Amino acid sequence: MEMVVEVSKQAQGHENGVVYPSDNIMLDLHDLKKVYPTPKGDYVVLEHLNLQILKEEFVTIIGHSGCGKTTMLSMIAGLNPISDGRISVLGNPIKGPGPDRGVIFQAPSLMPWMTALQNVKLGVNQVFPHASKSQRKDIAMYYLDKVGLEGAFHKKANELSQGMQQRVGIARAFAIKPKVLLLDEPFGMLDSLTRGELQDILIEIWNKEKITAVMITHDVDEAIFLADRVVMMTSGPRAKIGDVLSIDFERPRTRKSVLEHDDYYKYRKHLIDFLEH
């Protein structure tokens, strides 16, 4: 089995002349700009940001703190207004937030007064209003099962540990069958063991569902393990895409096979060089 590894600096969408066939593009950020007005004048967080994400692609975004990664993600989610430019999903410009773009937040953001099942059902009920009650329950239970919470359906969210809460967050996001999954450093608050577990769970479900995913992370190893492409953002202000690295490991991947792969350290070095630059 031979793998063709190519460290590509070209795959930056139209900015660098690479054009994907448009019917293969799920998410298109075009000349995106974000400006926060301050008393001292406008503060430009993002400018001329172009990024195209393909169907069934898993993209991780890495960059220094405060460079505007989260701003970009919440703009894609529709939670933060766009100052200029365009974000479109399957060619349609987004209008505000919606369940076609599921979000897994940094904090689990579960409703603490609801059980795990109720939390997942809150979304499922909203997205599948025509399904029967038991069908909706089955969907919610299926995903909770997938994240390994088969015994904790009826536990209140605030009785679950951070890691288990974030599992519910993953189940909730997948259960609404979004077109795009947005993950805002979802494992940032977890200890490294739990983080590893959750990465495995995430990638296991993702392998099955193949939902286009955009994930912000601070963790270089996480970025490589999960992604088809790692997008590196320049430091703000006026942040944009600095570099893009294709990760050409075969899927499904295991942590072991990734770590033992010859190219792993090459990728890692590439990312760290960028970040330390």
* Owner of token pair 């937040």: 105
By CB neighbour count within 10 A (0-12 exposed, 13-18 middle, 19+ buried), where does 224 fall? buried
User: Per CB under 8 A, which of residues 159..218 are in contact with other proteins?
Assistant: 163-164, 176, 197, 200-201
Binding mask 78-117 for other proteins (x = CB under 8 A): xx----------------xxxx-xxx-x-x-x-xxxxx--
Q: Toward other proteins, which CB reaches closer, 120 or 271?
A: 120
Shortest CB 27 distance to other proteins, Å: 16
Q: Which of 174, 123, 109 is nearest to 145 (CA)?
A: 174
Longest dimension (CA), the chain: 59
Q: Which of 253, 270, 226, 236 is nearest to 61 (CA)?
A: 226
The answer to whether 77 contacts other proteins (rule: CB under 8 A) is yes
By CB neighbour count within 10 A (0-12 exposed, 13-18 middle, 19+ buried), where does 122 fall? middle
The answer to whether 123 contacts other proteins (rule: CB under 8 A) is yes
Shortest CB 222 distance to other proteins, Å: 16
User: Per CB under 8 A, which of residues 135..164 are in contact with other proteins?
Assistant: 148-152, 154-156, 158, 163-164
Shortest CB 13 distance to other proteins, Å: 26
Secondary structure element (H or E) that encloses residue 199, with its range: helix 192-209
Shortest CB 42 distance to other proteins, Å: 24
**Which residues sit opposite 32 in a β-bridge?**
49
Shortest CB 120 distance to other proteins, Å: 11
Shortest CB 101 distance to other proteins, Å: 7
Q: Toward other proteins, which CB reaches closer, 51 or 203?
A: 203
Secondary structure element (H or E) that encloses residue 183, with its range: strand 180-184
Rounded Cα distance, 100 and 57, in Å: 16
- Total of residues contacting other proteins (CB under 8 A): 37
**Which residues sit opposite 62 in a β-bridge?**
232
Shortest CB 55 distance to other proteins, Å: 21
Q: Toward other proteins, which CB reaches closer, 17 or 96?
A: 96
Please compute Rg for the chain using Cα positions: 19
Rounded Cα distance, 130 and 165, in Å: 28
Which residues of the chain form contacts with other proteins (CB under 8 A)?
A: 77-79, 96-99, 101-103, 105, 107, 109, 111-115, 122-123, 126-127, 148-152, 154-156, 158, 163-164, 176, 197, 200-201
